[in-house]
Amino acid sequence: MNSMNATAFYFESSMAQESTEIARGLRRRDPDLLDRLIEQYQHRLLRYLVHLTGRRELAEDLFQETWIRVLERGHQFNDKYAFSTWLFAVARNLAIDHMRRKQPASLDGLMNNKDKEGAAPFDPPETGRASAFDLTLQREQNEYIAAGMQHLAAEYREALVLRFQEGMSLEEIASVAHVPLGTVKSRIYRGLSALGPWLKGTPL
């Protein structure tokens, strides 16, 4: 029990130290630090934006804008919180601004937008050592669930991605999405339940 507490304390203090270093670097607008952060968070941020907007091309534009905003507003980052939480909140605000400009009525409008070039918003799966049949099956399942995600409302997609892909705590999701904890719980529950029909043959 003591060793677990010590490990938890070690992780917490190293995370706090990392946040402090990031905050200091962002205040200085240190380009080397930003290069490192872009490398470190590239996949997580893009994945979040792809799921949030439903369009790969738009997500890539917002990805770049997010890092420019991080550079410009870096002094606003509070090192009491994890950098990823702040980063996702910045990306989210940019996405919402963009969606409001394009479709002021609702965020959900984006869900129905198909990629103009016809390209899927998701990359094809990595080819490993699995058999061709396994790969086809896996791709098919991925396509099902990806299609299911595209049919969910943006706020449910966001909650599911932050919870299950980014592994954020409920409190962190509430902080990113600027909603109460109860709303986060409800979104996760409803989002996961709504994905049911997209699990081929195994409705939730």
Q: Interface with other proteins by CB under 8 A: which range of 64-72, 78-86, 91-99, 108-116? A: 64-72
Q: Which of residues 122-151 bind other proteins (CB under 8 A)?
A: 122-126, 138, 141-142, 144-146, 149
How far, in Å, CA of 194 to CA of 196, rounded? 5
CB of 122 to other proteins, least distance (A): 6
Query: Is residue 203 within the footprint of other proteins (CB under 8 A)?
Result: yes
Is residue 182 at the binding interface for other proteins, with CB under 8 A as the rule?
no
DSSP-H helix ranges across the chain: 2-28, 31-53, 56-72, 83-102, 132-150, 154-160, 170-177, 181-194
State the Cα–Cα distance between residues 43 and 67, nearest whole angstrom: 13
- Is there binding between residue 111 and other proteins (CB under 8 A)? no
189 binds other proteins (CB under 8 A): yes
**Under 8 Å between Cβ of 121 and 62:** no
Secondary structure letter of residue 163 according to DSSP: I
Residue 106 or 197 with smaller CB distance to other proteins: 197
Alpha-carbon Rg of the chain, whole angstroms? 19
Distance of CA 10 to the CA centre of its chain: 26
Residues that bind other proteins (CB under 8 A): 29, 31, 34-35, 38-39, 42-43, 45-47, 50-51, 60, 63-64, 67-68, 71-72, 121-126, 138, 141-142, 144-146, 149, 160-161, 163-165, 167, 170, 185, 188-189, 192-193, 195-196, 199, 202-204
